[in-house]
Structure 1
């Protein structure tokens, strides 16, 4: 039996075991996939012990994506862009390899599952943390008209914008100083979404068909989703689709086949 796991803290909420076991069942694979709670300072030891014991692949969630990047010897271009990864495995030489599937998973959900367009759109990103860094590269590849990064700390938004300024028209500001523009797509990555709060942003200009996407997944409406609905937006989604699609991309790296995702959506959220 091939062994896999997801590492994080907290980790009890993770849907990854259900997702990957469903993938395995659909592909006829026999796997074991578990949640592992990792304490601060133990990440490197846990990873090395897992692979030394014959483990095949690891998913990594907060707050260890940066450490996952650092431990790897071989890194994909996407991993190097993000400096944070969610997928680890060992190659034939025993080297730890790293990739992030967050960006590809997001685009798959936006474009294929939801039918939303990124190309030539005005995109507003809320937050400048690791989650945003992980999706910036793939978003740039779709040639949006502009990407604007708004963050509580403007300096951090500017730092992230500077990393991608040669790929796309990109701007940065504090949350209270977002420029007036007909925003087509708002993606939320603010950490406040986890604690049940969301700032009351004063966006006076939105595209008539603007869409709102929360990187957080939840079985109930998130604070950001509620804010977007109050603004009159009707195209609103949480991040469950991104979670499933990035998991499918990880599965493909480890198993050599990308599973179908539709049945997993039906399992996790019937009628999605």
Structure 2
């Protein structure tokens, strides 16, 4: 089974980003892929909140989502659109960071809102409050696709193995982790965390990422990865935007789980006894 990953350098113009995504869908189909995976924030990456707000829509009116759905239908290709920032979805005015599984007819088969949000105060005085702008998702989501049952997550979620335990308990044999990782944290943790998620459950992990210096001044780590159930890196796209392909032997999931059946040995874990 062949999949494609689009490593993007998403900018501040959604129309331009939509054209790049449409081209990636067509190229993925031409390259023989059954499914394309795109990064977090595929439609717009702009840390200027006032400027970006003018380009944000709800799901029903988002032009990037509409463009990708139409491109998927033209190509006859499934797409995991890693995520879009959507406005107008909540009464409290906060945005949602939502990923979509889109089938080969352009229909939305699944939606997932990022559950874990990054809030931190650093010793340098920097403060990050993702929850000030975004609302967290409240449910885990897995969806049946041509590449098996796919568990959905987004970026910072990868640090929370309980999410992936829930997804693999629900039968997921592949995990998608679209991301826009910063360079320092990417260099320190990206490969290690994604390999760990694959190894602990014997699953494929597909992580399409943002890469390079963006129009808004941020720099992202890149290194879109495919990791097999044994923890081997099948594909690493490095630091430049582009499209990559990986040929997966899906039966490897059962083979690895047969050799190392940790997923069958899971037991319910209660609160620890503190002595």
> TM-score scaled to structure 2, two decimals?
0.32
> TM-score scaled to structure 1, two decimals?
0.33
The structure with more helix, counted as a fraction of residues: 1
